Amino acid sequence: MLDIIFAELVVAAIITFFVREKLAAIIAFFISLLPLLALLDWASNYGFAIINLGIENHMKIYLAGVTLHLAITPLSWFFALMILPLFPVIMLYSYSFFKENDGFFALMLLSLFATFGILLSRDMLSLFLFWEMMSWSSFLLVYRSKDKNAIMSYLIFSVFAAFAILFGIIILWHENSSLLLSDILNISGKLGFVAIASIITGFAVKAVIMPLHAWAPFVYSKCDEPFVAFLSGGLSKLGYYGIFLFLFSLKGVDILQNYMTNVSWNYLLAVFGALSAFFATLIAILQDDLRKLLAYSSIGQLGYIAIGFGIGTPLAITGALFQAFNHAFFKAILFLAAGIVAYRTGKWKISELGGLAYKMPFTFMATLFAIFALAAIPITSGFASKWLLYEAAIQQKYVFIAPIMLIAGVGAFLYSFRILYGVFLGENRHDSVEEAPKSMIAALFILVLPLIIFVVFPGYMLDLMKPALQAAGIESIAHTKFAIETSLAKYNSIAVLITLMVAMIPAFVIYKARKHRVTSFEDNYLAGEPYELHKPAMHAANNYYKPLKKVLLPYLEPGATYYFEKIYNGIKCVSNAVRRIYTGYVQDYAIYVVLFLLFVMGWLIWI
Amino acid sequence: MKSIELLGKGEEMHGRAYIKLSADEIEESIKKLKENGFNHFVMLSCVDWLDKGKFELVYHMWNYEEKEHAMLSVDIDRNNDVMKSMSHLFPQIETYEREIHEMYGIKFEGNNRLTPFLLENWPHDPPMRKDFDSKKFVKQMYESIPFIEGDENEGI
Amino acid sequence: MKEYELFIGPQHPGITGNMMYHLWVDGDTVTKAECNVGYLHRGFEKLMESRLWMQNIPLVCRICVPEPDVNEAAYSMAVEQLMDWEIPDRAKYIRTIVLELARIAAYLMAIGSYAGSIGIYTLPQWSMGDRDYILDIFEQLTGARVYHIYIWPGGVRWDMPADLPRLIEKTLNYIEERLKLYDDVLFENRVFFDRAIGVGKIPCNKAIEWGVTGPNLRACGYGYDVRKLEPYAAYDEIDFDIVSYPDLGKFDAHEAGDVYTRMIIRRLEIEQSIAIIRQALKKMPESEHILKHPNWLRWKVPEGYAFARVESSKGEFGYFVVSDGGLKPVRVHVRGPSYTHGINVAEKLLQGANIADVSQILFSLDICPPDIER
Amino acid sequence: MDMIGIAIKITILIAYAIIGTCTGLLFMGIGRKIVARVHNRVGPPFYQNFIDVAKLLSKKTNISHGWIFDLALLFSISGILLTLLFLPIGGVQLLSTDGDAFLVLYLLAIPSLGFALGAGASGNPNAGVGVMRALVMMLSYELPFVITLIALMIYYDTTSLATIVRMQSINGIKSWAITMPPFMIAAFAADMALQGMLMEQPFDIPVAPHEIASGPMVEFGGKYLGSLMLYKAIALVAETTLFVDLFLGGGVVAHGNFAFVINFIVWLALIFLLFALSILIAASFPRFRIEQAFGFYWKYEAIIAAISLIWVYIMVIK
Amino acid sequence: MGLHNGDKMMRYEEWSKLARKASKRSLWMVHFCTGCGAIEMPPVMTSRYDMERFGIAPMATPRQADVLLITGYLTVKTLRRVIQVYEQMQSPKYVIAFGSCTINGGMYWDSYNTIKHLEKYIPVDLYIAGCMPRPEGIINAFLELMKLIDEGKARGWERYQKYYDKYKENQRRVFNFEVKEEEKEEKEQKREKNEEH
């Protein structure tokens, strides 16, 4: 069945390249539902409790003399559940987003193909092949942005990631002489350490952990919104999939720890995650470009997942996976809503927007909900994941990371209100703007659903990830349908929700007791001045957090500029070099790969 | 007195120098006084001499060191009420000229901020002119507006 | 559009009366400020042209509400110049006492409202209450709390009651005691230093050219005071030192011309005024309190131009009076200190200021809109 | 749980919500009285705030700026009541066993976010700036506060407020956290954070009337302002109770059958003392600029809190 | 009283007495110094006379306030702002006018820029005589206003709604600008909306 899906994906990708945009969107939408159906089929046939698949369950594809092993594992099942639903939603959204068919749908389907492949691959060769296919199809999508910085930075970081992963894979293959993932456990010592570390670094690029994040702000802020929604919601999760796979499912963390016992590698990852969460949040607060703000917010929120993986206790990993799931959805909503705003107004600067909430009520509502999730307000599932992570940090007495996480959580309020106020509230400057097309709204609200479901039933989410955790030998934490219990405290979502509803009653009584009159925007407090005399501009969104900027910039700027200058210069140098090396001929690339392989082999033989 | 010596004319009036100048001399004189210690510009007054048919502009300057007050007076024709702006010499002259423009209708060439200052939506004659009859205006403008006649039981 | 527009006033807690500043703000920094006045324009100058010389006394005091006596004094002095009158010595001393009391009252009000503008509401409560004791003195002396109509051309309206000096002394002692509390709450408060030092700086080399006068000028380091420059009333017989910038007594001097220095100067001048009143009470001679007046209804003032200036709590108050020898003045032009402070100076100081500081800059300049627009 | 149990619990919850509201309004009135005495004046009657709220809620005209503006009213009251009910009050565990300190922290954000939305929806720049200041204040005071919170959490090895209160009440006053030297420091930092939470001087920056004409509440009138006052009243109780729960053992001094009466009175006295302290500080300080407040919290207060955290960490590790 | 005035009066009667009691003991005034009478407001508000005893407090914006104090003469320019503020206030709202200048122009009877009779432009609930009124007078006025509210006699805001056209016409005349026909209709509609609530 899987091979049929693969085949259909490829065929559809080719077809969609040639048809009109609406038709392409429809085809793409239905085709992108296929992998989801396959997942459901799998779930109904085998259930979720499969812990470790034997090799006999693998689907084998023989390709030019090598065998590719594919199979759905509980881990890939969970991640597929997180990433794959984004595709049909994005196709639905793109139905009215694109004015002409210039290959977006075909490339998205290729990405879907690659994503599916990555999740299914059970050996390192297929993992690498699909990973590269993903990188290149997404690179072509980035290439559509025609922004030099975005293209070059994405290319360079992708290539770096690819070589890092390849490097690790070659070492593993050299040591084990097996490409099967399940054989990695046999390796140890220095080489194992180098291999695992290098693979993790490679995945960390896509997972945008702080020092390797430099590509993300460029790419996120310049590409088409539907693609960025996938990039931030889906692709980054694939990075974390890789990290989880190698660290926990394949026990890479033991390999790391056994080699260097005096350094806590976990803690290092957590620190990197905390730094991304903290600094990216602070930088996001100061952004004016909506997309850049969301990009840094993504980096910050993804940092929490890294923290969770870094802390490494069952509680933390559960929280991290939960956070990954939430993030996939709410960040996709936010990017898609940003796309709607730009689609209707053609503007990206928060300071130039304003007052769209009454014009686009549904977009606003979806955004508001996503922001609740992002800010971890306890009426969305965003809270449960953050809560688990905080609990985990306290449980492990991580006194450095816990405050940073919490304060980054508060920082999230700041930038989310920036979006709300700057874009949706305040003075309306766009009289002719209408609500977004129905397909776009539908796309947003489909994504809202899981956030609602899992706030009422956070236990279901833990059930969903239980097989994946069990497969990695991580015990699941105690929970019921509504409540999660840790050794430190208990979180009962239904108590919160019901009390909120009850508490709404007095509020509602007060609200209804007296009639109110809705007045126009012009009838506003202007210190007594009549509006029509001055017709003042009243949107305070430009430089909104200027006081904070004044305080923070002296501290943030040196580090950031230094780092980014290095990156810029690096990009410039490398891009010149790359232009010479990446000539555009496939043969050349093949030669490079062969040369690289030879180099690594030589190095391995030499040591 | 120093200012009289500097400008070579003028008389003393109640302890202050009163110097009559022509419209062309005024800029040079203010500059000269400013360079010689009269660095505090007190105010710019305008007097409407209706019977003589002229406006008199009085530039008051003060010297902190010599403790001397100089009044530089310029007459301009009431029918041709145009004057060169001095606002580049002292910043506050701009405001005085705005007020005089509004109250007497004198136009100051070179002052580009002659926007409404104290009055808003004023379509009538400049009010400080002697021929503007305030009492008549009040009668026409305010007294003609009727009281609101309503049921005495409501309000008050 | 990068900036948004804010209106400070006319209906705003952070404005010093009925006027308006139209601010263009980027983030929290004012990029442009425009003063908009005229909300209190009653056309005094026009009214005075149609009233008798004596009838104008009740009018002029309405020009500066917090400190009305300076107007009466300046107008009377201008008329006295035209008439070539020398007023009796006792009247001079009474005028000194009245003007200084009014100055204390105005300073208490200024300090109180400034304190309110940076959010300490205890001090306004105290200082306004204490100011009321000075108004009580006025009530005993003149019969009115605010508009006294006491200083007339030729002297003062009636003599000081015999028991008033005791009450004045008592009130002054009380206020001196209270000043220590004010120091604790505001002038020696760390947060006040944080807020006020270096904020709203008038560039010292420009101060005179911009027409800054009074305490604001003294805060820039120029020890100029009309009481010394052109002594009026009894100030030439009274011994006092001008408080100016680097020498701030028990307070530390920080930056010239900023909000902090301006407020400290005001605070110190209260003590100075108290000392002046005490001296004046001690030195007060016995004599007539007013010259003999001609019949008010047929009182013609000789032709001429007169200018009288007094030092008010806000700065230099000047009256330019032109007479053609008639029953009514041809022109009375009032130079209010706020005319320059409120418009040119404030517009320049507000540019680049933080919106949190707008109000305190305005209050520290002690702008009083009625003397701008009259 | 049987139906009767649920009914009893709901009754208690409603009772506590009403008590919380009334206590808050009463304290605000008494606070006004105290401040008035500092000001040398008589001050309003202690029940003045009840009258004010009644008047605001009975206004005939209520001006709204659309449905987002109305969210302010709905979210503020419901959110703050929710927070109150998740706090142990005088040792009585209402719903606090179903949540913990992190939940309370985030629940406290619901009404603030609601008000921020309402204020933003009015479109007034003063409101926009006011909300900006409120959010920056939040970022400022939360840092020392969460650090002290974490110090408590790792010391008691729990995040549950209920457990923290229980462990502090084992020996009455002697086991209150504030009796321990590291937590004395922490309590100081947390009290300063509380000053920011209560928005009293020197941290009343978000509602500074002289600067931004009372900031977020610029367009609030009638029932909207009334709900804001109710919110403030309950928030006062909730925030001081949070402090009491964390450092003063939730006011629990007695155990036994009718101990809850004593505990309740002690709790009431303690939150009143905290509130009185905060308004007395407010009466004697001007307000900071927002960046100064940020610097104050992130430099001095955060360091003080961090010292206590490190101290506690060393204690726990040993 | 007022049965013939229809629905509104009836509704007013239904208004609970408690609400009136509450609104009388909690009068919040707009912070607006329209004229020189404002100089006596600080003493009234502060420690000597302490207005807060009666629940009177200054408020920053008209939305929050119940009482508008016209502290003295009004220039035409200020009148426009006063009307803006008055219309932004939420009813029930009350107007107290200070000093003789609001009654008949006072000493500015011949000034070209001050309006002479305030009640031609907005309804006034209470006048305080004098120039300027003493703090005791101001406090007394507030107490009088409380009495009026209690008796249900302070109903200037209803008067304003009822004679909206006439007030608007007077205001228009004093502001010196002609209102076009369409705008008039627009205002008509706005007023109707106003009255619905």
CATH of domain C4-373: 1.10.645.10
The reported pLDDT for the residue numbered A65 is 66
Cβ-count burial A297-313 (b if 16+ within 10 Å, e if not): bbbbbbbbbbbbbbbbb
pLDDT for C62: 85
Contact E89, E30 (CB under 8 A): yes
Give which of C32, C242, C333 to mutate to test B binding, by max B Cβ within 10 Å: C333
Are B153 and E162 within 8 A, CB to CB? no
CB contact set of D227 (below 8 Å; sequence gap of 6+)? A507, A510, D72, D73, D76, D77
- Chains C/B: 3 or more C-beta pairs closer than 8 A? yes
* Cα Rg of chain C (Å, integer): 20
The alpha-carbon gap from D71 to the nearest alpha carbon of chain C, in Å, equals: 25
Show residues of chain E in contact with C129, CB under 8 Å. 43, 46-48
Residues 16-35 of D with CB under 8 A from A: 17
* pLDDT over 70 at A185, yes or no: no
Given a cut of 80, whether residue A320 has pLDDT beyond it is: yes
What CATH number labels E19-196?
A: 3.40.50.12280
Cβ of E81 within 8 Å of Cβ of C42? The answer is no
Paired tokens of A522: 């012009």
| Residue E15 pLDDT exceeds 70 | no
- The pLDDT of residue A64 is 61
Q: Which residues of C touch A537 (CB under 8 A)?
A: 1, 3-5
Band (A420; pLDDT cuts 50, 70, 90): confident
Q: Where are the domains of chain A?
A: 264-482+537-544
**Residue A268 CA to chain centroid, in angstroms?**
21
- Beta strand B68-77 pairing with B16-21: parallel
* pLDDT (0 to 100) of residue A594: 64
Q: Span A250-277, mean pLDDT?
A: 78
Looking at the predicted structure, is the pLDDT value of residue A493 above 80?
A: yes
* Closest C-alpha to C216, from C349, C115, C334: C349
Q: Tell me the pLDDT tens digit for each residue of E50-81.
A: 888 888 888 888 888 888 888 888 888 888 88
Average pLDDT score over residue span C220-249? 86
* End-to-end Cα spacing for chain C: 36
- Terminal-residue alpha carbon distance, chain B: 64
Contact state of E170 with B145 under an 8 Å Cβ cutoff: yes
Q: Is A237 helix (H, G, I), strand (E, B) or coil?
A: helix
Closest CA to A122 of A51, A182, A197, A77: A182
Residue of C nearest to B90 (CA): C209
- The closest CB to that of C122, out of D38, D129, D214, belongs to D38
Report the C-alpha dihedral over residues C111, C115, C117, C120, rounded to 10 degrees: -160
Min distance C65 CA to chain D CA atoms (Å): 21
The Cα of D283 is separated from the nearest Cα of chain C by a number of Å equal to 6
Give residue E4's pLDDT band: very low, low, confident or very high (50, 70, 90).
very low
- With an 8 Å Cβ cutoff, the interface of chain C facing chain A consists of 1-5, 7-12, 15, 20, 22, 25-29
What would the pLDDT profile of D266-279 be if each residue is shown by its tens digit? 888 988 999 999 99
Radius of gyration of the CA atoms of chain E, in A: 17
Give mean pLDDT, residues A174-185. Answer: 72
Selecting from E111, E112, E132 the residue whose C-beta is nearest the C-beta of C146 gives E132
E13 contacts on D by Cβ (under 8 Å): none
Q: Which residues of A touch E161 (CB under 8 A)?
A: none
E5 vs A80, which has greater pLDDT?
A80
Q: Is E143 on the interface with B (CB under 8 A)?
A: no
Yes or no: say if D180 and D148 are a contact pair by the CB < 8 Å rule: no
More confident residue, A441 or A52: A441
Amino acid at E121: Y
Chain A environment of E62 (Cβ under 8 Å): 525, 528
Which residues, 6 or more positions from C99, have their beta carbon under 8 angstroms from its beta carbon? C69, C70, C73, C233, C310
- Residue E21 CA: distances (Å) to CA of A215, D62, E25, E150: 66, 19, 6, 6
Domain chopping of chain C, boundaries:
4-373
> CATH topology for B2-143?
Beta Polymerase; domain 2 (3.30.460)
Q: Which residues of B touch C304 (CB under 8 A)?
A: 13-14
Mind giving me the DSSP string for C161-213?
PTTHHHHHHHHHHHHHHHHHHHIIIIIT-HHHHHHHTTSSPPPTTTTTTTT--
Q: What is the DSSP letter of C331?
A: E
Please name the member of C40, C125, C370 whose beta carbon is closest to the beta carbon of E47: C125
Say yes or no for a CB contact (<8 Å) between E63 and D213. Answer: no
- pLDDT band at residue C174 under the 50/70/90 scheme: very high
Asked whether the predicted pLDDT for residue A76 surpasses 50, the reply is: yes
pLDDT at residue B149 is higher than 80: no
DSSP class of residue C26?
E
Q: C22, C42, C134, C135: best mutation site toward chain E, by most E Cβ within 10 Å?
A: C42
Domain ranges of chain B: 2-143
Interface test with E, best of B138, B143, B149 (most E CBs within 10 A): B138
Share of chain C above pLDDT 90, in %: 5
Q: What is the torsion angle, in degrees rounded to the nearest 10, for the CA atoms of residue C62, residue C63, residue C67 and residue C73?
A: -90
> Is the distance from CB of C134 to CB of C105 less than 8 angstroms?
yes
pLDDT at E178: 47
Query: Between these two residues, B127 and A429, which has the higher pLDDT value?
Result: B127
Please tell me the predicted confidence (pLDDT) of residue A53.
52
DSSP string, E121-179: TS--SEEE-SSSPPHHHHHHHHHHHHHHHHHT---HHHHHHHTHHHHHHHHHHHHT-PP
Residue where the block lists tokens 């006052």:
D229
More confident residue, E9 or C168: C168
Cβ pairs bridging C and D (under 8 Å): 82
- Averaged pLDDT score across all residues of chain A: 79
Nearest to E101 by CA among E113, E91, E93, E84: E113
Interchain CB distance below 8 Å, A542 and C2: yes
Beta carbons within 8 Å of E186's beta carbon, 6+ residues apart? none
Q: What are the chain C neighbours of E102 within 8 Å (beta carbons)?
A: none
Judged by CB atoms closer than 8 Å, whether chains meet at A528 and E62 is answered as yes
Say if D and B touch: at least 3 Cβ pairs within 8 Å.
no
Inter-chain residue contact A537 with C4, CB threshold 8 Å = yes
Closest in A516, A517, A523 to E88, CB measured: A523
Touch of A by E (3+ CB pairs closer than 8 Å): yes
Average pLDDT, chain C: 87
Tell me how crowded residue A62 is: count the other CB atoms within 10 A of its CB.
8
Q: What is the pLDDT of residue A592?
A: 63
**What's the pLDDT score for residue C173?**
92
**Closest CA–CA distance from residue E112 to any residue of chain D (Å):** 33
For residue C339, which residues of chain B lie inside 8 Å, CB to CB?
43, 92, 95-96
Distance from CA of B118 to the nearest CA of C (A): 4
Residue A18 C-alpha from the chain's centroid: 30
Amino acid A596: pLDDT:
66
| Segments in chain D below pLDDT 50 | none
Chain D residues closer than 8 Å to C14 by CB: 209-211, 213
Q: Which two tokens stand for residue D36?
A: 């008035």
The pTM (predicted TM-score) of the whole model is 0.89
pLDDT band at E176 (very low <50, low <70, confident <90, very high): low
Residue of E nearest to D40 (CA): E47
More confident residue, A541 or B62: B62
pLDDT for res E1? 39
Question: Which E residues, 140 through 179, put their C-beta within 8 Å of a C-beta on chain A?
Answer: none
Q: Is the pLDDT of residue E98 over 60?
A: yes
Which among D38, D201, D288 is the nearest to C194, CB-wise? Answer: D288
The neighbours of chain A, by the rule of 3 or more Cβ pairs under 8 Å, are: C, D, E
Question: Is there a cis peptide before residue D3, judged by omega within 30 degrees of 0?
Answer: no
State both tokens at D192: 């300063």
> What was the pLDDT predicted at C352?
87
Contact C230 B14 (CB under 8 A): no
Q: How many CB atoms lie within 10 A of CB A177?
A: 8
- List of chain E residues whose C-beta atoms are within 8 Å of the C-beta of residue D217: 61, 64
Average the pLDDT over A122-144 and give the result: 81
Which chains have at least 3 CB atom pairs separated by less than 8 Å from chain B? C, E
Q: Residue E133 has which token pair?
A: 């009124």
Q: Do E32 and A523 touch (CB under 8 A)?
A: no
pLDDT band at C158 (very low <50, low <70, confident <90, very high): confident
The yes-or-no verdict on residue A61 having pLDDT over 70 is no
Which of residues A35 and B38 earns the better pLDDT score? Answer: B38
* pLDDT of residue A164 exceeding 80: yes
| Residues from chain D contacting residue C5 (CB–CB below 8 Å) | 125
How far, in Å, CA of B55 to CA of B72, rounded? 14
